[in-house]
Amino acid sequence: MSETSHASEPQTAANGARQINDFCINVATANGTGSQTSNIALLRAMFRMGIPVAGKNLFPSNIQGLPTWYNIRLSKAGHIAHRDVAEILVAMNPKTVAEDLTKVPSGGVIFYDTALPVKEDREDVVYYAMPVKDMVKSMSVAPNLREYIANMVYVGVVAELLGIEMEMLRSALDTHFSGKKKAVDLNMQMIEMAAEHTRNNLPKRDPYWIERIEGGNKDLLLVEGNAAGALGSVYGGVNVVAWYPITPATSLADGLNEYLPQLRRTSEGKSTYAVIQAEDELAAIGMCVGAGWAGARSMTSTSGPGISLMAEFAGLAYQAEIPTVVWDIQRVGPSTGLPTRTSQGDLGFTYQLGHGDSRHIILLPANPAECFEFGYKALDLAEQFQTPVFVLSDLDLGMNLWMSKPFVYPETPMNRGKVLTAEQLEALNGNWGRYADVDGDGIPYRTLPGTNHPAAGYFTRGTGHNDKAAYSERPEDWEGNLQRLRRKFNTARKHVPKPELTQQDGGSFGLISFGTNHNAIIEAMEMLKADGHVCDYLRIRALPATAEVGEFIEKYDRVYVIENNFDGQMHGILLQDNPSHATRLASLSRQNGMPLSAIWLHEQIKAAHERFTKALA
Amino acid sequence: MSDVTNTKAAKTNNIGLEKNDYKGLPSTLCKGCGHDSVSARIINVAYDMGLPPHRTIKISGIGCSSKSPAYFLGRSHSFNALHGRMPSVATGAMAAHRDLLTIGISGDGDTASIGLGQFKHLLRRNVPMLYIVENNGVYGLTKGQFSATADEGQTLKYAGVNELPPIDICLEAIVGNCGFVARSFAGDPRQVETLLKAAISYKGTAVIDIISPCVTFNNHLSSTKSYPFGKDHEIQLQELSYIPHYEEITIDEYDDGTRKKVQLHDGSWITLKKLEKGHDPTDFGQAVNILQEAQSKKELITGLIYINNNYKDLHSVLGTVDQPISSLQEKDLRPSRESLEDIMAGMR
Ligand SMILES: Cc1ncc(C[n+]2csc(CCOP(=O)(O)OP(=O)(O)O)c2C)c(N)n1
Ligand code: SF4
Ligand SMILES: [Mg+2]
């Protein structure tokens, strides 16, 4: 990294140290003022300067007026987890400014709109006053654009003082406005005007610098999890989509609506897919189940409230063995309250969704590249196992822009599962059983409507069928079916994505987690190591848990299961799977609507493990 | 069968299938249940029209009525889904496979209570399918509760007196932009068959509300959904006939005020001779009025109530390829490696 190349430059801060590419910026605005364009331009410009960045939009359930914070973290070490503390505040919201100011740590910086009631009364921070209104006035823009363009003022001031390159801001806006020059020019004009004002009136007094890292972020993408999931599904050949709007899942459907027309139309302009905005989630999954039954690769995207409505169909699809894919972008629930806050609270419910006994395959992406990967893998698994497959992402991953490894084009051909054609039926003399376990793996064969053979048709119903799909209430038929379904589930254990192991020399205890907790865990592991606590970490990427999970647990006296829900739902599932190791597993879960932070994890793991080792001694 | 008939070639239809090929399992419904007579009509019609069993699917909700797909067209794929949710399953199946001929079977509870929302949205999308409601004014399978189509003021042994006005399925269909709306009576086999044929020739959702008495829970004269009431009081709106597209239509002077002919999407015709009510099914206003009037007078009117060939159907709105999208394989479904590189370039 470029730290050393600047060592000779003058030092500005009182304590002498320049803080380069390693701090957080918190932008406080009101929802609906258009600040998102400004914040994303800042983020993307830094990304294009080669600096590891992460952006988090903390927004209310509201269209206009309620407070919004945008948190940008720069980390030369590449840590992109949520951090609770931001050294730099950009105060633009009169309603929250009082509290926002108190959160700035000693040594921090406050950029504020002069219209806000800010008294420069703290000695331990640096203030920069931004006369936003005057600057906007000096630009001749239509009155309806004033509020929006006002957000470009802080972009210009912050860029000038911290060192964000103007050319990168322009290129970021160019991406944002898809090359619409007029919009780019208008915004840049405001940014440059604010930068010039800063050069003339606001000498730099803080120690924070943003400096280009040559070759940094090479090949990486800056992308939202939902866009990645949509794209992965498109490359997975999804051809029937039914969905109902809900934050934070809507942008996944938006992604499908953007990429499908682009990538999946014939030369005559006809679609190789159907996207239907359903009347509710119940209908959405009903359509997916109907389509999956008829041979389509179907999917829907939703969040917790939608999952609740999908319960009956999920159970039916499980018992009738119909493929479909459900993305759940988890949020805090139920009902209203914190629908725009993140959570991993749907895991337990989704794992057994449906009445009677059901167990579902669940994929657990942790980053956009994995959203892409699971986009096509979920469709493969659904058809391979003739069952609904759930992908549990979350608001944090789905709706924020993340640095991501490039997406890997699917290496294997599509897996369309065990589908009998008319020719195969002929070869079997029409002798087949829809729910017979011919191969011993629990996965039966199916036929699709439209198959031109007299023996192709069968009768689909939820419960009450025998091997040949004939109506049956015989206890042994029903029990045999449940046993086969469990056999099938255990076959899936060998085929779902395997967990990812992070091992350190001398790791003496284990961490297990999944999804977006990953970044905070990696960072916390470094902090723990500095304290002399060396641990290994297994990130589960799918349920049912594969053999590696049990083997990992077996290796340590203590394994902490880390998750972003209150009940420790994964902990519960692992206890069920590994009853003989129950005493090794300890739950470490939290849910407050925010992503887990490394600082919190470090504290909690350290305290818990010190208690544990003390008790042992 | 006797040896004599065995040696004779069995009668076959235009695609070489016997009537038996269209039959299903023996019914397990109550003896005399209206739903069984509807199943028999479907078997006849499918045979007469030469429906290809492999391209025909049956989808139903939950109820005695929704069980009945097991008792006809045994060679076709069938899906007994969830209570009130047949419409969404049918929508998905049709989106996946546009060449299927879909027969939806529902009950009055299934369609007018738990499934009213999905029913209306299916109509709104104009999913091409035959939508049959076997309407008995009662919940059969759960043993005799009032359904939302029960007559106001009628009495049931188990449920007492129904104080609420009925939901009229045909009225809901017409105001829901359905282009083929008919009502019939299970005790009027000829009319049921004629309407079924016309509905199958129609491209779009075709709703037939068939009064199909529940002989066990709601078959007394005080109910407009009973055999005794229907037998005595059915008022046919028209004398209907169906002329398949391959037959020549011989009478030219149809549209003379008392007679009318309407061509259907596959080229077939439905011809109708108006009876005393003088109803014109191409007139939206008349269709709504005649239903409202019948409801207030507690009349059972049957026949083609509304027809409109101009609504756009699901597939034209979706703009999908001509072949079923479920038949597309990897080469059509997975975009190229290069296209992914291009898209990623825009994310850097
Ligand atoms: C979600 C759900 N709720 C309730 C039921 C119980 N149930 C089964 S059939 C039925 C009513 C069926 O009435 P209708 O559709 O009129 O059919 P019929 O039996 O009269 O032909 C009900 C309430 C169910 N199967 N599922
Ligand atoms: S209960 Fe009624 S609807 Fe059900 S089978 Fe018997 S007669 Fe038919
Ligand atoms: Mg009924």
pLDDT band at B2 (very low <50, low <70, confident <90, very high): very low
- Contact yes or no for B139/B145 (Cβ under 8 A): yes
| pLDDT surpassing 70 at residue B6 | no
Residue A4's Cβ-count burial label (10 Å; 0-12, 13-18, 19+) is: exposed
- Contact yes or no for A435/A467 (Cβ under 8 A): yes
Q: In whole angstroms, how far apart are CA A589 and each of A167, A352, A601, A610, A612?
A: 44, 20, 10, 18, 17
Q: Is A419 on the interface with B (CB under 8 A)?
A: no
Largest CA-CA distance found in chain B, in angstroms, rounded: 80
Contact between B321 and A266 using a beta-carbon 8 Å cutoff: yes
Minimum CA–CA partner of A268 in chain B: B321
pLDDT band at B157 (very low <50, low <70, confident <90, very high): confident
Q: Is A261 on the interface with B (CB under 8 A)?
A: no
> For A125-263, where are the alpha helices, taking DSSP H only?
132-137, 143-162, 166-176, 181-201, 225-235, 250-263
Which residues 159-178 of chain A have a CB within 8 Å of chain B? 175
Minimum CA–CA partner of A380 in chain B: B330
B291: phi then psi, degrees, rounded to nearest 5: -70, -40
Contact between B340 and A453 using a beta-carbon 8 Å cutoff: no
Amino acid B199 reads: A
- Contact yes or no for B22/B47 (Cβ under 8 A): yes
% of chain B residues with pLDDT over 70: 96
The 10s digit of each residue's pLDDT in A392-449 is 999 999 999 999 999 999 999 999 999 999 999 999 999 999 999 999 999 999 999 9
% of chain A residues with pLDDT over 90: 91
Which residues 297-356 of chain A have a CB within 8 Å of chain B? 297-298, 312-313, 316
Contact between A223 and B347 using a beta-carbon 8 Å cutoff: yes
Contact between B325 and A259 using a beta-carbon 8 Å cutoff: no
Minimum CA–CA partner of B100 in chain A: A450
**Residue found by looking up tokens 């992070």 in the block:** A502
pLDDT band at A151 (very low <50, low <70, confident <90, very high): very high
> For A532-597, where are the alpha helices, taking DSSP H only?
547-555, 569-577
Residue A271's Cβ-count burial label (10 Å; 0-12, 13-18, 19+) is: middle
Instruction: Give the C-alpha separation, B253 to B270, whole Å.
Output: 14
Backbone CA torsion sign across A419, A422, A428, A432: positive
The residue among A141, A224, A165 whose CA lies nearest residue A41 is: A165
The residue among A96, A112, A52, A45 whose CA lies nearest residue A78 is: A52
Domains in chain A, start-ordered, CATH in brackets? 6-218 (3.40.920.10), 223-404 (3.40.50.970), 418-497 (no CATH), 500-616 (3.40.50.920)
Instruction: Give the C-alpha separation, A570 to A330, whole Å.
Output: 15
pLDDT at A142 (0 to 100): 86
The 10s digit of each residue's pLDDT in B40-99 is 999 999 999 999 999 999 999 999 999 999 999 999 999 999 999 999 999 999 999 999
Other C-beta atoms lying within 10 Å of the C-beta of residue A109? 23
Q: Is A223 helix (H, G, I), strand (E, B) or coil?
A: strand
CA dihedral A175, A180, A182, A185 (to 10 degrees): 20
Indicate the fold that domain B26-318 takes in CATH.
Rossmann fold (3.40.50)
Domain ranges of chain B: 26-318
pLDDT band at A20 (very low <50, low <70, confident <90, very high): very high
Q: In whole angstroms, how far apart are CA A100 and each of A68, A145, A147, A225, A593?
A: 11, 26, 21, 29, 18
Closest CA to ligand 1's atom 24: B83
From B88, B92, B320, residue closest to A271, measured CB to CB: B320
Which of B15-54 are b and which e, b meaning 16 or more Cβ less than 10 Å from the residue's Cβ?
Answer: eebeeebbbbeebebeeebbbbbbbbbbbbbbbbbebbbb
pLDDT at A60 (0 to 100): 79
- Proportion of chain A in helix, strand, coil states, percent, rounded to 5: 40, 20, 40
- Give B287's contacts (C-beta < 8 A, 6+ positions apart): B174, B181, B279, B281, B305, B306
Amino acid A585 reads: L
- Contact yes or no for A184/A9 (Cβ under 8 A): no
**Residue found by looking up tokens 């600047």 in the block:** A6
Closest CA to ligand 1's atom 1: B83
The 10s digit of each residue's pLDDT in A253-292 is 999 999 999 999 999 999 999 999 999 999 999 999 999 9
The 10s digit of each residue's pLDDT in A532-564 is 999 999 999 999 999 999 999 999 999 999 999
Question: Higher pLDDT residue, A343 or B8?
Answer: A343
From A282, A291, A414, residue closest to B96, measured CB to CB: A291
Q: In whole angstroms, how far apart are CA B197 and each of A319, B194, B303?
A: 35, 5, 13
Contact between B81 and A292 using a beta-carbon 8 Å cutoff: no
Sheet hosting strand B129-135, strand order edge to edge: A459-460, B77-80, B56-60, B101-107, B129-135, B205-211, B180-185, B300-307, B234-236
The 10s digit of each residue's pLDDT in B112-142 is 999 999 999 999 999 999 999 999 999 999 9
Mean pLDDT across chain A: 94
Distance A84 CA to ligand 2 centre (A): 64
> Residue A544, preceding bond cis, omega within 30 degrees?
yes
The 10s digit of each residue's pLDDT in A22-54 is 999 999 998 878 899 999 999 999 999 999 999
Best of B27, B28, B33 for a ligand 2 pocket test (most atoms within 8 Å of beta carbon): B33
Contact between A239 and B325 using a beta-carbon 8 Å cutoff: yes
Q: What is the mean pLDDT of residues A148-174?
A: 97
| pLDDT surpassing 50 at residue A1 | no
Closest CA to ligand 2's atom 4: B140
Instruction: Give the C-alpha separation, A234 to B343, whole Å.
Output: 12
Q: What is the mean pLDDT of residues A516-544?
A: 97
pLDDT at B9 (0 to 100): 75
| pLDDT surpassing 50 at residue A2 | no
Question: Higher pLDDT residue, A364 or A7?
Answer: A364
Task: With beta carbons under 8 A apart, name residues in chain B contacting A234.
Answer: 335
Report how far apart the first and last C-alpha atoms of chain B are (Å, whole number). 76
Distance, in angstroms, between A171 CA and closest chain B CA? 11
Which residues is B139 bridged to in the sheet?
A: B145
Distance A256 CA to ligand 3 centre (A): 40
pLDDT at A422 (0 to 100): 98
pLDDT band at B158 (very low <50, low <70, confident <90, very high): confident
Q: What is the mean pLDDT of residues A300-324?
A: 97
The 10s digit of each residue's pLDDT in A571-617 is 999 999 999 999 999 999 999 999 999 999 999 999 999 999 999 88
| pLDDT surpassing 60 at residue B286 | yes
| pLDDT surpassing 70 at residue B1 | no
Question: What are the pocket residues of ligand 2 if the criterion is a CB atom closer than 6 Å to any ligand atom?
Answer: B 29-30, 33, 35, 64, 136, 140-141, 214-217
Q: What is the mean pLDDT of residues A163-175?
A: 97
pLDDT band at B8 (very low <50, low <70, confident <90, very high): low
Distance B32 CA to ligand 3 centre (A): 15
From A48, A283, A462, residue closest to B88, measured CB to CB: A283
Q: What is the mean pLDDT of residues A468-478?
A: 95
pLDDT at A49 (0 to 100): 98
The 10s digit of each residue's pLDDT in B212-240 is 999 999 999 989 999 999 999 999 999 99
Distance A483 CA to ligand 1 centre (A): 29
Backbone CA torsion sign across A575, A576, A579, A581: negative
Q: In whole angstroms, how far apart are CA A19 and each of A16, A103, A202, A524, B271?
A: 10, 19, 19, 21, 86
Q: What angle do CA B292, B110, B174 make, to 5 degrees?
A: 30
Closest atom of ligand 2 to B136 CA is: 3
B84 lines ligand 1 (CB under 6 A): no
The structure tokens listed for B14 are 């235009």
Contact between A239 and B96 using a beta-carbon 8 Å cutoff: yes
From A234, A240, A414, residue closest to B95, measured CB to CB: A240
pLDDT at A143 (0 to 100): 85
pLDDT at A128 (0 to 100): 98
Chain B contact probe: residue of A272, A373, A426 with most B CBs at under 10 A = A272
Minimum CA–CA partner of B332 in chain A: A272
Distance, in angstroms, between A280 CA and closest chain B CA? 9
Contact between A296 and B77 using a beta-carbon 8 Å cutoff: no
pLDDT band at A242 (very low <50, low <70, confident <90, very high): very high
Best of B215, B220, B223 for a ligand 2 pocket test (most atoms within 8 Å of beta carbon): B215
The residue among A276, A336, A184 whose CA lies nearest residue B319 is: A276
The structure tokens listed for B126 are 């104009």
Distance B195 CA to ligand 1 centre (A): 26
Distance B70 CA to ligand 2 centre (A): 15
Q: Is A50 on the interface with B (CB under 8 A)?
A: no
Closest atom of ligand 1 to B134 CA is: 21
ipTM value: 0.96
Closest CA to ligand 1's atom 7: B142
pLDDT at B253 (0 to 100): 60
Contact between A454 and B321 using a beta-carbon 8 Å cutoff: no
pLDDT at B143 (0 to 100): 94
Instruction: Give the C-alpha separation, A362 to A543, whole Å.
Output: 5
Instruction: Give the C-alpha separation, B112 to B104, whole Å.
Output: 14
From B121, B334, B344, residue closest to A283, measured CB to CB: B121
Chain B contact probe: residue of A321, A401, A459 with most B CBs at under 10 A = A459
Which of B154-166 are b and which e, b meaning 16 or more Cβ less than 10 Å from the residue's Cβ?
Answer: bebeebeebeeeb
Distance, in angstroms, between B329 CA and closest chain A CA? 8
pLDDT at A174 (0 to 100): 96
From B89, B330, B340, residue closest to A289, measured CB to CB: B89
pLDDT band at B32 (very low <50, low <70, confident <90, very high): very high
The 10s digit of each residue's pLDDT in A369-391 is 999 999 999 999 999 999 999 99
Q: What is the mean pLDDT of residues B283-294?
A: 97
Long-range contacts of A601-609 (CB under 8 A, 24+ apart): A601/A520, A601/A521, A601/A524, A601/A562, A602/A524, A602/A527, A602/A528, A605/A511, A605/A524, A605/A528, A605/A533, A605/A535, A605/A560, A606/A528, A606/A531, A606/A533, A608/A560, A609/A509, A609/A533, A609/A558, A609/A560
B108 lines ligand 1 (CB under 6 A): yes
Minimum CA–CA partner of B89 in chain A: A290
Mean pLDDT across chain B: 94
